[in-house]
Chains A and B, each alone.
Chain A
Amino acid sequence: MKVAFFVTCLADHYFADAAADAVRLLRHLGCEVSFPPDQTCCGQPAYNAGRTGEALRMAEHTLDVFGGQPDNPAGADAVVLPSGSCATMVKKFYPRLATSPGASAVRATALAERSWDLAEFIVRRLGVTRLGDGLAGRRIAVHQGCHALRELRLETEPATLLEGAGAEVVPWEAQEECCGFGGLFSVKMTAVSAAMADRKLETLPDVDWVVSGDGGCVLHLDGRSRARGDRVEFVHLATALWRGVNGDGGKTGAK
């Protein structure tokens, strides 16, 4: 299967190693991975702020890069993003945006149908749930990004994959609660946002890693936990899963 990798701007700059692990993982699962070089930001920051014009321009750019038709320039069967939130932007919000006048709804829908969050792609498209046993003995808490959870309804996929790699996924009281990131929200309503992160951190069970498929959430939780002086190790889902395949000795990129 040919996969065009949409790294997303946050992962490109803050989770480069995890993004590389996502590529390794996809290759390991038999995918031929390409990286269209002109890709940039999916436009979600502007979309969430209500800046429709700018969001649409960034969406159109992404549609140019990843194509809306099966014979898109990247020539891929699927577009995979290592971010539930950005995947939601492409899958759910591009089609909504594209209803504005002058936008290309057809292209947006076509891309939406071919795009996947990493965990979603592995479980639902490739039908894989077992990835080796490299995580045996690891106690992991999973943070689900809200978009992955409530827009893509990836309620079980990340945990299934982690367990499929041998990890023990530990229940977390605030598992389904928002970490308080929300992009601009975290800088506009910074006290509330930080208190939301605190609620996650206060209820965190005793684990080796906190794993999330959303870099934004990890940046936020990690930033808050370091400010509090907690010692929590956050690991991007892509990295955790690659370690699952490869064991902890592999070339990995914990944050």
Chain B
Amino acid sequence: MATGIKDYAARSREIIREDPGVRESVTGATIAFDEKRRQGYAEVDADAWRRWAEGVKNHTLTHLDRYLAEAEEQLQANGAQVHWAADAAEAREIVTGLAVRHGVRSVVKGKSMVTEEIDLNPVLEAAGIEVFETDLGEYILQLLEEPPSHILGPALHKSLEQVQELFADRLDTARDGDPDTLARAAREVLRGAFIHADMGITGANFLVAETGTVALIENEGNIRLTTSLPRVHVAVVGIEKLLPRMTDLAGFLQLTARAATGQPIGCFVSLIQGPAADPGDDGPEEVHVVLVDNGRTDVLAHEHAWEALRCVRCGACLNACPVYRQTGGHAYGYVYSGPIGSVLDPGLLGLHEAMPLPFASSLCGACEDACPVRIPIPELLLEWRREAQEEGLTPWKERAALAGLASVATRPGLYRLAGKIGSRLGATGAARVLPMLGEWSKDRALPKPSPRTFRDLWREGIE
């Protein structure tokens, strides 16, 4: 799949320079989310919950075949139809096939990262089907023809003014319409779409093996409508979304909400148990669950990266991340951005395709502290860096510089000599011999070496 990942450095620079409003919006929104997450964690024994959740996910991932089989059986017993998609192309074919078979002309969608991952909307539209994103943020981005910038708040890189402009142009709202007015205008359009839609497409937050339950968390009510009004509901589900039992779900619903928004639980939780039992009952006539691999079994087989499959897509790591905050998600060039993107994308797409994401981090560790399933993101980034080094995917100058450092640092005499030369050269002289300082000095004044090294001071005696 074509991604914009390799341009990360240039794109991030461009966003910061050319579109400073993005940094402002993203920083403001993520800090607010992160603050709520902290409060949400503080109200419970978050560490105990997180340890528990990590354990449940590890168990599930190491018994994934068993739980997938159980889930399939239960889903079928509930009257849902199960489809397996090895990759994005198969997943797209399955969903469009269903739409065509049912004579679908109009689709409503709940926010779903996996349908972004498989790039579903363009093929539906190519088949002449009208697609409505019904999450408010997603709807805004659909009007703007932009991909989501954040797992949870897809449009958080937009300012209120930008949305006011957009809605004034497209929905005829007042140019200074307050957020409520804007939401009401979107709701008008979307209500119509819900009523006319033949198919609702969602992702899933969890899939419970024991009962074959698709669980969806949301705050807007649009997912509830998407899964209950149209005749057909299709849930596209990554195979890592499994949970063994209903009691596990109870814990995960709460922990995920706390991590995402600090809420004790989402405003709406939909538990889908299959189609309407009798004609005339509420609910869709058919429920389809499309289980998507698309690189996940490769991630699972990876010695280290498999831990990233614990991810529940809460967005807490993005919210905590000072790197993400400067640019939002678009700089990363793929649907999964921020800390989790930087460890997941190399696994899903192949490391070569995902360079330089493992290096798009200062390794500050804020993500790991925020993550509800304790994914050791910095450690995984380091593992990918090691692999990138082994495979020669990093610039040779960098490798040469570090090899040089090591050979100097393991020879004390040489090290002392280099230090002495460095302090003689001073700031600009050092910049001339150390090519990396050239990059540094694009945005910063050069560091000033001490006129005499500590070693010299020690030799002369420190009073």
Residues of A at the B interface (CB closer than 8 Å) are 7, 9, 11-17, 19-20, 23-24, 35, 37-41, 43, 45-55, 57-58, 60-61, 146-147, 150-151, 176-178, 180-182, 184-197, 199, 219-220, 222-224, 226-227, 251
Contact = CB atoms under 8 A, between A and B. Distances in A.
A234 to B, nearest CB: 11
B173 to A, nearest CB: 33
Nearest to B388: A50
Interface of B: 8-9, 12-13, 16-17, 23, 27, 322-323, 325-327, 331, 356, 358-366, 368-369, 382, 384-389, 394, 398-399, 402-403, 405-406, 408-410, 412, 415, 419, 422-423, 436-437, 439-440, 442-450, 452-458, 462-463
Contacts of A38: 412
**Chain A binding site: helix, strand, loop or mixed by DSSP?**
helix
A133 B366 CA distance: 34
A58 B366 contact: no
B406 A185 contact: no
Given A12-B453, A46-B405, A194 B444 contact: yes
A191 B365 contact: no
Given A16-B457, A40-B415, A54-B403, A190 B442 contact: yes
Contact of A224 (B387, B415, B444): B444
A7 B365 CA distance: 25
**Chain B binding site: helix, strand, loop or mixed by DSSP?**
helix
A185 B360 CA distance: 7
Contacts, number: 208
Contacts of B448: 14
Nearest to A49: B402
A250 B382 CA distance: 43
Contacts of B394: 49-50
B12 A191 contact: yes
B454 A222 contact: no
A49 B327 CA distance: 23
- Max count, chain B CB within 10 A of own CB: residue among A13, A55, A196: A13
Nearest to A195: B326
Contacts of B415: 9, 40-41
A44 to B, nearest CB: 10
B447 A193 contact: no
B109 to A, nearest CB: 32
Given A24-B463, A189-B12, 8 more contacts: A12-B455, A13-B422, A14-B450, A52-B386, A54-B405, A178-B322, A187-B440, A195-B326
Given A13-B422, A40-B415, A58-B406, A220 B444 contact: yes
